[in-house]
Structure 1
Amino acid sequence: MSVYKILLADDEFALRFLLTETLSDEGYEITEVEDGQQAIEQLQKESFDLVILDYMMPERTGVEVCEWLRQSDNGNRELPVILLTAKALDKDKEKAKAAGVTTYIVKPFSPLQLLDTVGQLLEG
């Protein structure tokens, strides 16, 4: 079985650490970045199977990163994108959808909930 590669972009160290631990324990290979600009640079450098973006990040928001990705000619363009967000308002959901976000998880969430979602998107 091939190892799935996941790009995780979140500016909160503690949450990033927790999610990386959780996902790594399940055998996923995680690349961590801490802001939207780094996420874009990483997406330009290598291929991933899934992207997890925090909504509110320095430099670029998760939604902006997703918009950039969907409009680019990048090899990662069609990837499933999970948006982590504390903003559960309808207008924010609309914005995320318009940007091409595959699904979003509202904070606070449990790492197991994220694992479930990742599993569904990758394993189908």
Structure 2
Amino acid sequence: MLIRNANELKGFEPELSKLHKKYSKATIKGIETDLKNIEKKLDSLIKLDEKLSNIFEKATSVTGVGKVTALFLICYTNEFTMYETPRQLACYCGVVPFEYTSGKSVRAKPRVHFMANKKLKKQLHMCPYQP
């Protein structure tokens, strides 16, 4: 985002663009080091707890599920203990739309329940599918 803004400024104010790039590089470098430190701490916390490490390993073994998605699932589902069946988990994650029907007539297009976890749904839809 910071680099993109500097590139957009090139056409209007070349001098201001150079100044912006100079100061934003330090900010970007600081953010990247903070992210690396956070990832190292998360990895060490996962390795310390044997149960969590096992769950994390199984979750990331699924095609398309990476670190972030696995951690989202583990945190939001209390280490997969909140739901007994995969169907319940899918409903909670918001990946199963339901249609509003009354007998034979369909009254509305299928929608996700308003109580579904939208953050988790977004994260799961960002996972690439590879057959």
Structure with bigger RCO (C-alpha 8 Å, 6+ apart)? 1
Which is helix-richer, 1 or 2? Answer: 2
TM-score normalized with structure 1 length: 0.24
Which is strand-richer, 1 or 2? Answer: 1
* Larger of the two Rg values belongs to structure: 2
TM-score normalized with structure 2 length: 0.23
